[in-house]
């Protein structure tokens, strides 16, 4: 009985204290206490804890879609994907392109600038919820909070135009992506990404990507349409445009 009373008192005291302090990263003062993510981060090629882990466990319907794609590829019918036509990859693949990302903190929001395809993500850390019926987009709607030094992000609202990684694995509009960002070492950022999808996956699919820090790099422009000579036709055939205008 005594223990229950103390527990009740502790809860009453703890809740207002938490409310007073606000979410981490919600004020300029609280941002100063966050881990230092300054600089550009580039995914390490084969250098991190990636690739391992269980393969995605697909539902029968989505396993059939994947097999259809793989069979068509083996027959030479599909040679490339939409990215050849400069369509951004969408989440989660857009996070692990061979181009750097930059992570910015402002009060109540984390912004990720992604050099590849000049994309960005905004992760609201001001305590808001997802929209009840979010628009379906390439990078989704993200909310996050800090658990000590780890940024925990939840993202929903994905268009089904994108594939889940390469090789024709698809997802539904009910896909949900949970990410945990943390500094595994002073210059090594690890992002653990867990994908759930009640229509496509029978269990959560988790991978961790490691990023190296480049403090002296700055983001560069990436306008994919500038001189894109690669193309893929609607029926999957790849080609190259070698037209050349003499100066």
Partner 1 sequence: MSTTTNPGRARALRHVAMVLGTVIGILVLAAWTSRAEAHHSFSVFDMQTNKELEGEVIEFQWTNPHTWTWIEVTNADGTKTRWGLEGMSPNFLGRRGWSKNTFEPGDKIKVVIWPLKSGEPGGTLQRATLPDGSEVVNFGRGPGG
Rounded alpha-carbon distances, angstroms, from residue 86 to 35, 105, 117, 179, 226? 34, 29, 7, 26, 10
Number of alpha carbons in the 13 Å side-chain half-sphere of residue 69? 16
Nearest to 61, CA basis, from 169, 154, 143: 169
Judged by CB, which is closer to partner 1: 79, or 126? 79
Rounded to a whole number of angstroms, the minimum distance from the CB of residue 78 to partner 1 is 9
Q: Is residue 93 within 8 Å of residue 165, measured between CB atoms?
A: yes
Beta bridge partners of 40: 102, 214
- Non-local (6+) Cβ contacts of 211 within 8 A are 41, 42, 43, 44, 48, 101, 188, 189, 190, 191
Judged by CB, which is closer to partner 1: 60, or 76? 76
Rounded to a whole number of angstroms, the minimum distance from the CB of residue 190 to partner 1 is 12
Rounded to a whole number of angstroms, the minimum distance from the CB of residue 67 to partner 1 is 18
Helix (H) or strand (E) holding 48: none
Judged by CB, which is closer to partner 1: 177, or 210? 210
Judged by CB, which is closer to partner 1: 24, or 119? 119
Judged by CB, which is closer to partner 1: 23, or 165? 165
Sign (positive or negative) of CA dihedral 29, 32, 35, 36:
positive
Rounded to a whole number of angstroms, the minimum distance from the CB of residue 159 to partner 1 is 15
Q: Which residues bind partner 1 (CB under 8 A)?
A: 42-47, 50-51, 79-81, 83-84, 86, 89, 93, 96-99, 115-116, 163, 165-166, 207, 209-212, 214, 217, 220-224, 226-230, 232, 238-240, 242, 244, 247
Judged by CB, which is closer to partner 1: 36, or 77? 77
Rounded to a whole number of angstroms, the minimum distance from the CB of residue 105 to partner 1 is 23
Rounded to a whole number of angstroms, the minimum distance from the CB of residue 84 to partner 1 is 4
Calpha distance 190→124 (Å, rounded): 20
């Amino acid at each position: 009985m005594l223990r229950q009373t103390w527990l009740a008192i502790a809860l009453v005291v703890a809740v207002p204290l938490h409310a007073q302090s606000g979410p981490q990263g919600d004020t300029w003062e609280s941002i100063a206490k966050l881990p230092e993510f300054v600089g550009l981060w580039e995914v390490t090629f084969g250098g991190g804890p990636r690739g391992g882990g269980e393969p995605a466990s697909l539902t029968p319907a989505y396993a059939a879609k994947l097999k259809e794609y793989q069979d068509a590829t083996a027959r030479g019918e599909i040679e490339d994907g939409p990215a050849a036509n400069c369509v951004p990859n969408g989440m989660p693949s857009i996070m692990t392109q061979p181009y750097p990302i930059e992570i910015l903190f402002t009060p109540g929001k984390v912004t990720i600038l992604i050099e590849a395809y000049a994309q960005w993500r905004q992760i609201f850390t001001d305590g808001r919820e997802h929209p009840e019926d979010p628009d379906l987009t390439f990078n989704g709607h993200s909310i996050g909070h800090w658990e000590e030094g780890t940024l925990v992000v939840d993202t929903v609202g994905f268009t089904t135009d994108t594939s889940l990684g390469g090789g024709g694995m698809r997802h539904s509009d009910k896909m949900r992506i949970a990410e945990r960002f943390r500094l595994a070492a002073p210059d090594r950022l690890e992002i653990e990404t867990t994908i759930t999808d009640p229509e496509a996956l029978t269990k959560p699919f988790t991978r961790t990507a490691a990023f190296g820090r480049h403090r002296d790099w700055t983001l560069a422009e990436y306008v994919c349409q500038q001189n894109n000579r690669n193309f893929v036709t609607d029926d999957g055939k790849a080609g190259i445009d070698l037209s050349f205008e003499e100066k």
